[in-house]
Amino acid sequence: MEFITDIGLFLAKAVIIVVAIGLVIGLIAAAGAKGKKKLEKGHIEATKLNDRFKHMTDALKNVALDDAERKAEAKADKKREKAEQAEKKKALKAKSGDTKADKKRVYVLDFDGDIKASATDNLREEISAVLSLARSTDEVVVKLESGGGLVHSYGLASSQLARVRDRHIPLTVCVDKVAASGGYMMACVADRILAAPFAVLGSIGVIAQLPNFHRLLKKSNIDFEMFTAGEYKRTVTMFGENTKKGRDKFVEDLEDTHLLFKEFVSEHRPQVDIGKVATGEIWFGRRAQEVKLVDDLKTSDEYLLSQSDKADIFEVKYVQKKSLQEKFGMAAEGAVDRLLLRWWQRSNNQRWF
């Protein structure tokens, strides 16, 4: 019995030691991973869209064409590939620094904007990556979807796009659904704006609203006190009694923001009659073209396909790894944003089919 007891105690001690060592190793590994996570928040992923287009075409050919037609297409493809290889060899033989022989590259970025323009963080990284390689003979295409949001957030997003133009690289914005308010602030930075025929554009205006519970609090004998330093530190409030002076100052600030918005659009699209379009109205694609808010009516798919024969097209994305908690938080935040956007659409009398 003593022998068995001794063995049991030995095994228990061994297990404790192994567990302790495991915990130490786990803590060290976790600390290392945490440090690595701080250094590497995300990474750039690039996909060549030409290959995707080719695979789609090949899949359809296999079903739609008969044997003779497929053989003829295969022969034509081989001839085309040989011609492309010859062009590449010619480019390699070109003298150093001469980029005229190089094939044009088109870099495609996606911006799906919410009220806070949260996608700006990814856009910043994507543009930094593209600018490290892009030439003046290349092009950046941004597929933009946004109904607008916070002024300062969309101001920063617009500044990110301005980095491309400042480097004299052609910038094209494609709007398939909506680029309104802050979304149009971003779009107008581009050299060209392409929109689907029923995409929503414009809404060049500023809005601010809030409830006021002062009378309800007063009725319940609840005092609300607010202390500020500076005459206009707080102009209007949700719980205190708003004054005419405070309201007037608040409206003055809104008007100044609207003026800055109009100046920004005029600077980037001088062909626009800003007095006519800066009324807060929205225009569908065809009407937007008539008032020069867009340059051409074309979907992003149509434009990229038209470029695929003469350019190498790369979709660039910055991917961040998120924890389960962050994913749940983003899902809840997205649901709130969608509800607010739906309210905005209805409050602005948007047309529905």
DSSP string, 163-175: HHHHTT--EEEEE
Does 197 lie in the same domain as 327?
no
Residue 313 lies in a domain: yes
Chain length of the chain: 353
Residue 74 lies in a domain: no
The percentage of residues in the chain with a pLDDT greater than 90, rounded to a whole number, is: 61
Positive or negative CA dihedral for 184, 186, 192, 195? negative
Does 115 lie in the same domain as 260?
no
- For residue 12, CA distances in Å to 8, 16, 17, 22, 232 come to 6, 6, 9, 15, 71
Residue given tokens 């620094």 in the structure block: 97
Q: 3-state DSSP call for residue 195?
A: strand
Q: 3-state DSSP call for residue 279?
A: coil
- For residues 1-28, average pLDDT: 58
- The residues that are catalytic are 181, 233
Distance CA 151, CA 124 (A): 17
Residue 62 lies in a domain: no
Residue 77 lies in a domain: no
Does 243 lie in the same domain as 128?
no
Task: Enumerate the H helices of the chain as residue ranges.
Answer: 2-39, 49-64, 67-93, 120-131, 151-166, 182-187, 214-219, 244-268, 274-277, 285-290, 300-307, 324-347
This prediction has a pTM of 0.74
- For residues 314-341, average pLDDT: 72
Does 311 lie in the same domain as 300?
yes
Residue 175 lies in a domain: yes
Residue 165 lies in a domain: yes
Which CATH number fits the domain that encloses residue 181? 3.90.226.10
How does pLDDT run across 55-76, given as a tens digit for each residue? Answer: 887 777 777 777 777 777 777 7
* pLDDT of amino acid 31: 61
* pLDDT of amino acid 113: 95
Does 176 lie in the same domain as 119?
yes
DSSP secondary structure letter of residue 315: E
How does pLDDT run across 135-185, given as a tens digit for each residue? Answer: 999 999 999 999 999 999 999 999 999 999 999 999 999 999 999 999 999
Does 249 lie in the same domain as 135?
no
Q: Which domain holds residue 193?
A: 40-49+101-203+281-320
Q: Which residues contact 242 (CB under 8 A, 6 or more apart)?
A: 212, 214, 236
Does 347 lie in the same domain as 199?
no
